[in-house]
Amino acid sequence: MDAATSLETHPHAAEHEHHELGWWRKYIFSTDHKVIGIQYGFTGLIFLFFGFSLMMLMRWQLAYPGQALPEIGKFLPHIFGPNTMPDGKMTPDFYNSLGAMHGTIMVFLGIVPLAFAAFGNFVVPLQIGAPDMAFPKVNMASYWAVFVGGIVMLTSFFVPGGAAKSGWTSYVPLAAVADTGPGHLPIFNGQTLWLIGFIFLITSSLLGAINFIATIIQLRAKGLTWMRLPFFVWAQFVTAFLLLLAFPPLEAGIIMQLMDRVAATSFFMPAGLVVNGAAMQISGGGSPLLWQHLFWFLAHPEVYVLILPGMGIVAEILANNSRKPLWGYKSLVFSVLTIGFLSFIVWAHHMWLTGMGSAVSAFFQTTTLIISIPSVIILSAFFISLWGGSIRFTVPMLFATAFLPMFGIGGLTGIPLAFNSADLYLHDTYYVIAHFHYIVAPGTIFALFAGIYYWFPKATGRKMNNFWGKVHFWPTLICMNVIFLPMFLQGMLGMHRRWYDGGQGWTLSGEHVWGLTGFQWNTPISWAAWIMGLAQIPFIINFFWSIKHGKKVNDNPWEATTLEWTAPSPPPHGNFITAPIAYRGPYEYSLPGRDRDYTMQNEPVEPSERVRRKTAEPVLV
């Protein structure tokens, strides 16, 4: 469809919509997958920035331990309470809260809502040619569950004692006794609210996962067979399965930890526990290791939940901007399925230091190394896809190409951690932080930015500004590396990841790297983090400005091939004017003998083409 028809049909569709639903039902309590996707997107972006702000505060304490934070430090106690930053100096408890909540918020309220729920909601039904998700009301419930969960998490900053402070992993028994005793309320304390908020977040993810899988299985357009699905849809499909099957065991763990805190049970509490000099009045008989198993059974697949949607986005953008088919589509699909399966049997590599025994360690070490194979296949296929393409360096493409080496660094530096002998040294150092963040920060978050720039025209009918996009990209890329590369060094010099003073009071390896000690490296890292915060301003302004004033574009501004670009921009309720039919694979770029260098999925296969491609009759469901 070209722009003219869409402009004709779209106002009519919007008008039609107006008669049916009021403003509240249309924009707030909407059941339309696109509105819900955008709601998820805003929620995710806001939490992403909030979680990043928590980290920017921590970076002050790490670079200048014990010094008062100028200006901002004066008014923060008015927001978070007097015991957080008296005179602008951060207390250890507040530092721990910031660390725990940074992790929780970034992972569960930032990236999952954005990568999985927002992009999945907005893009997947469009890409498979569906009018909506399979269960629109469940979809709405899923958004409002994450909303409530987010509110509960935020509320926990303002209860007596402050937000949860036992790390995003909430290891017991530390977490089970944290935020109890004098000065804390029974339910309204940081850790208990963390658990309650988490139940809402899990509920949301489960509802979302069910909806995505059912939608992909049931609502694919006519002719859109499994092997014609865009890779992004495959990535979301596997992600949904990970959430569906990995989250419930953690939910079981959360319920048990909640029981430990509220009903004085001892699921995770060993006998003879002494806290603050007094023996705890509990039955004992619980196991702290059990919590770690339940936690990592989710939290390892969760890492793939964070990265797979990003890989899906990158795949779409690479194919579109290199103007050639994605290399090794089938290998990509089977790799992503293999990753999905293997990610369920690697979790205990987070627990090398718990003394599980060498047999268990050997098993998990083996599976962990095996899972790097499909990951490497995916990354290699992406690189090869660029080979010989006529690359367009649009803003989404900049972010997508930056994703490749960044994810590569993140992935390869994980291999020493997979070997339990090497991990004994690196465990819980800044090396681990650097490895993980290379995957999710310049990795996933770059993919998310790429996706926002790429699908923005579909959501609004306008493009984001190119120049400001580049102003956003380059400082972000540079700062990301200034932040995380030195952390590998710090980790290898022996800096522990949970030190409140940034390592000032500890003896690290005496080596200087480029004239700086391990501790001194905190300063450039922190400055890079703050500059990166500033570098997001062009993005924020560009984003909001472009909604109203961006350059108007047609329905398919990137000259892409997948079905979402056949719908009007923005798509009306019900998405497509007529049900789309897919006649071909998702990445038919630069097909020989064509006028244009892209052939959309809904363009019928011509007889001459059929002979050349040696395919039989087009497959229709």
Partner 1 sequence: MEIPYTVSTRPDTGLWNAKVGIWLFLASEVMLFGGLFSAYIFLRLDAPPGMWPHGLLNVPVGTMNTAILILSSVTVVLAWAALKMRRYRAYWWYMLATISCGVIFLTVKLAYEWPQKFEHFGAYIKPEALGKYEQYLGNKHAAEKDLPPRLEITGHLHNRAALNDPNIKEYEVALDPLNADPTNPAMDRPHFFPLPVTDKIAKIEKEDVERATMFLPTHSAYFASYFTITGLHGMHVLGGVLVFIYMWLPVSKKLYQRNPEHLANRVEVAGLFWHFVDLIWIFVFPLFYLL
Using CB under 8 A, list all residues that contact partner 1. Answer: 130-132, 134-136, 138, 206, 209-211, 213-214, 217-219, 244-253, 255-256, 259, 263-267, 281-283, 285-287, 290, 293-294, 297, 574-576, 578-579, 621
Closest to 315 (Cα-Cα) out of 372, 386, 370: 386
User: Between residues 206 and 439, which has the closer beta carbon with respect to partner 1?
Assistant: 206
User: Between residues 183 and 285, which has the closer beta carbon with respect to partner 1?
Assistant: 285
What is the DSSP secondary structure assignment for residue 26, as one 8-state letter?
Answer: I
User: Between residues 253 and 442, which has the closer beta carbon with respect to partner 1?
Assistant: 253
User: Between residues 60 and 297, which has the closer beta carbon with respect to partner 1?
Assistant: 297
User: Between residues 219 and 433, which has the closer beta carbon with respect to partner 1?
Assistant: 219
Distances (CA, A) of 226 to 128, 240, 302, 571: 10, 16, 25, 24
Helix 446-460, helix 33-63: angle, nearest 10: 150
**DSSP states of 190-250:** HHHHHHHHHHHHHHHHHHHHHHHHHHHHH-PPBT--GGGS-HHHHHHHHHHHHHHHHHHHH
Interacting residues of 261 by C-beta distance below 8 A, sequence separation 6+: 176, 180, 191, 192, 195
The tally of CA atoms less than 13 A away on the side-chain side of residue 602 is 20
User: Between residues 79 and 579, which has the closer beta carbon with respect to partner 1?
Assistant: 579
Which tokens in the block code for residue 386? 């660029």
Determine whether 124 is exposed, middle or buried from the number of CB atoms within 10 Å of its CB (0-12, 13-18, 19+). Answer: buried
Q: Look-up: residue for tokens 């658990």?
A: 195
Q: Any bridge partners for residue 463, and if so which?
A: 551
C-beta of 562: minimal distance to partner 1 in Å? 17
Which tokens in the block code for residue 7? 């402009």
User: Between residues 264 and 541, which has the closer beta carbon with respect to partner 1?
Assistant: 264
Neighbouring CB atoms inside 10 A of 50's CB total: 18
C-beta of 44: minimal distance to partner 1 in Å? 22
Identity (one letter) of the amino acid at 417? L
CB 366 within 8 A of CB 425: no
User: Between residues 289 and 391, which has the closer beta carbon with respect to partner 1?
Assistant: 289
CA distance 457 to 154: 32
CA distance 145 to 157: 19
C-beta of 557: minimal distance to partner 1 in Å? 23
CB 44 within 8 A of CB 113: yes
Q: What is the maximum span of the chain, computed from C-alpha positions, in angstroms?
A: 84
Phi-psi region of 238 (alpha: psi -120 to 50; beta: other; left: phi over 0): alpha
User: Between residues 414 and 572, which has the closer beta carbon with respect to partner 1?
Assistant: 572
Interacting residues of 413 by C-beta distance below 8 A, sequence separation 6+: 431, 434, 435, 438, 488
Helix 446-460, helix 288-322: angle, nearest 10: 60
User: Between residues 48 and 213, which has the closer beta carbon with respect to partner 1?
Assistant: 213
User: Between residues 250 and 479, which has the closer beta carbon with respect to partner 1?
Assistant: 250
Neighbouring CB atoms inside 10 A of 392's CB total: 13
C-beta of 350: minimal distance to partner 1 in Å? 17
C-beta of 138: minimal distance to partner 1 in Å? 8
C-beta of 134: minimal distance to partner 1 in Å? 4
Determine whether 81 is exposed, middle or buried from the number of CB atoms within 10 Å of its CB (0-12, 13-18, 19+). Answer: middle
User: Between residues 502 and 571, which has the closer beta carbon with respect to partner 1?
Assistant: 571
C-beta of 616: minimal distance to partner 1 in Å? 18
C-beta of 545: minimal distance to partner 1 in Å? 33
C-beta of 569: minimal distance to partner 1 in Å? 17
CA 450 to chain centre: 13
C-beta of 591: minimal distance to partner 1 in Å? 27
What is the DSSP secondary structure assignment for residue 82, as one 8-state letter?
Answer: T
